[in-house]
């Protein structure tokens, strides 16, 4: 069987970005299926209506093919950031991330919040929820 080379003429950066997007699309589909089976489509629709956007925070196994735990998170707000920032002064970055994650947590596997084996990789990924938009502060 012949296949078409879809990467011809693309840079390595473009190829990697396309591979990452494809991998994320597959993971999103797996997360959707898992949470729909676990909580039901009606509950997800209710959360979406209540919180606006929803984020999935899956923790994968070592092979990065199986979801071991998943949390459903609401968007972070300035009030959550303000509260979590008070924890950073006392305990550092991971106390900040834990406070923010606990405030954004809607439902899912509590071991993501309680067990370091799951918390640490989840906390590293959680920064993405904070970095949704970018801005610049430019001097004239």
- How many domains does the structure of the chain reveal? 1
pLDDT of residue 3: 58
The burial class, CB within 10 Å (0-12 / 13-18 / 19+), for 40 is exposed
CA atoms of 56 and 104, how far apart (whole Å): 11
Domain that holds residue 74: 12-130
Of 125, 117, 110, nearest to 56 by C-alpha is 125
Tell whether 140 is covered by a domain.
no
pLDDT at 7: 63
Question: Does 5 fall in a domain?
Answer: no
Per-residue pLDDT for the chain (140 aa), expressed as one digit of tens each? 555 566 667 788 888 888 888 988 998 999 999 999 999 999 999 999 999 999 999 999 988 888 999 999 999 888 998 888 888 777 888 898 999 999 999 999 999 999 999 999 999 888 777 766 677 777 77
Q: Residue 124: which CATH number?
A: 3.30.2220
pLDDT of residue 70: 95
């Amino acid at each position: 069987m012949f296949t078409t080379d879809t990467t011809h003429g693309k840079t390595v950066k473009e190829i990697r970005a396309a591979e990452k997007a494809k991998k994320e699309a597959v993971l999103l589909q797996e997360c959707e299926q898992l949470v729909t089976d676990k909580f039901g489509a009606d509950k997800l629709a209710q959360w979406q209506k209540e919180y606006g956007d929803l984020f999935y925070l899956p923790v994968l196994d070592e092979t990065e093919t199986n979801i071991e735990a998943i949390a459903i998170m609401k968007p972070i707000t300035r009030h959550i950031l303000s509260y979590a920032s008070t924890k950073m002064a006392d305990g550092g970055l991971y106390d900040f991330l834990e406070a923010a994650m606990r405030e954004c947590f809607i439902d899912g596997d509590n071991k993501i919040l309680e067990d370091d084996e799951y918390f640490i990789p989840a906390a590293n990924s959680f920064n993405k929820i904070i970095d949704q938009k970018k801005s610049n502060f430019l001097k004239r």
